[in-house]
Amino acid sequence: MAFRSVFDGGALRTEFESAGISPHFVPLIWKYVLHNPGCDLSDVPSLPSAAYPLLISKFRPLTSFLSSALDSNDRLTTKLLIRLQNGNSVEAVIMRYDTRQGKYDGKPRSGGPRSTLCVSSQVGCKMGCKFCATGTMGFKNNLSSGEIVEQLVHASRITHIRNVVFMGMGEPLNNYAALVEAIQIMTGFPFQLSPKKITVSTVGIIHAINKLPIDLPTVNLAVSLHAPDQDIRCQIMPAARAFPLGKLMDALQTYQKNTQQKVFVEYIMLDGVNDHEQHAHQLGKLLVTFKVVVNLIPFNPIGNSSCFRTSSEENVRTFQKVLRGVYNIRTTIRQEMGQDISGACGQLVVNLAEQRSAGGASILKDIEDLHI
């Protein structure tokens, strides 16, 4: 029998309410489990006596476990492989930055060390983007809100997490109800992440973008545009056929009007496909009326089978120069992290599946090897 996670907040509240137990005990259970992830639910103190048999018969503190964690050589990235109770695995990645590095306006930057957790929302993905390892797996299943939050619980045992980005396996807006519930839990007691430190990334599921200003008005939205026109988008992102670029831009206009938030635009740089100077001009014209930050992403090849190549550094710099200089669009280049540990989304799970089918030994370190 499959148990629910206590972090499946809606399910737990419903069970409590129908048993006449106040749902205000729910965050207290979460706090205890967060600090004692190996606990038994009968250990949670100070609950009404009717809560214990209900919890024990239907819920588990955690339904997933951290099967392995792999540090990059520079120790800035830790990739977590998390095993779900249905036997599937998902990835979550901890990325560490120091915002004091470098100078701003000739002065030292403020801030300090930060950790961002990249979480998965689905096992596999239906969207089939051609440059993405997860896209090659097809879709397996949606994660529950509890399974999404549990990734934060596992990561929090390794380091303090300040930011969460939904850029791991899956299209988060295709698992909308679980996404909204997971973010509500992450921003409430005891996690208390600021909604401004949470980013949801989508290929552009228009009907779901239209609901975001109501359900998640203050979280950040990142849109994986990856092309300046519909033809190139369809070529590299088959799902773009269902969400034409013109309609997507209209939805983003409305989103921006309703939330007053800037939108983050993700653009993967693929040699000879979308990285010419003329593409930068097309993109600049498309975005010039928006409040956006464009993030240029050097492509991370998926093994030897990839049909794409990484853009040259020169092309990436020229692209950035056009967007900044001609269109005055804030444009950053994503720092490559974790290349030595299959840093791109889905690579670890895909590698693991390939190794299993080849009967190979695991490339992964055991959890016991973690330096925590």
The contact set with ligand SF4 (CB under 6 A) reads 125, 127-129, 132, 134-135, 169-171, 203, 345
In angstroms, give the least distance from the CB of 203 to ligand SF4: 5
**Beta carbon of residue 342, minimum distance to ligand SF4 (angstroms, whole number):** 14
Nearest to ligand SF4 of 26, 203 (CB atom):
203
336 in active site: no
Q: Which is nearer to ligand SF4, 3 or 139 (CB)?
A: 139
Nearer to ligand SF4 by C-beta: 27 or 128? 128
Identity of the residue, 170 or 284, whose beta carbon is nearer to ligand SF4 in the bound complex: 170
Instruction: Find the shortest distance in angstroms from Cβ 137 to ligand SF4.
Output: 9
Report long-range pairs for 272-275 (Cβ below 8 Å, ≥24 apart): 272/309, 273/232, 273/235, 273/236, 273/308, 274/226, 274/227, 274/228, 274/232, 274/236, 275/311, 275/315, 275/316, 275/319
What would the two tokens of residue 32 be?
A: 């205890």
Query: Which residues are bridge partners to 320 per DSSP?
Result: none
Copy the structure tokens of residue 158. 């390794």
Q: Please report how close the Cβ of residue 250 comes to ligand SF4 at its closest, in angstroms.
A: 21
Asked if 234 is an active-site residue, the reply is no
Compute CA 96 distance to the chain's CA centroid, rounded to the nearest angstrom. 15
Catalytic-role residue among 17, 39, 91, 125: 91
Least distance to ligand SF4, CB of residue 287, Å? 20
Q: Is 339 exposed, middle or buried (0-12, 13-18, 19+ CB in 10 A)?
A: middle
Cα–Cα dist 171/242, whole Å: 14
Residue bearing tokens 């949801």: 200
Chain center to CA of 186: 13
Please pick, among 118, 125, 129, 345, the residue that the annotation labels catalytic. Answer: 345
Nearer to ligand SF4, 119 or 280 (CB): 119
Contact 239, 225 (CB under 8 A): no
Give the tokens for residue 24.
């205000």
Catalytic site residues?
91, 345
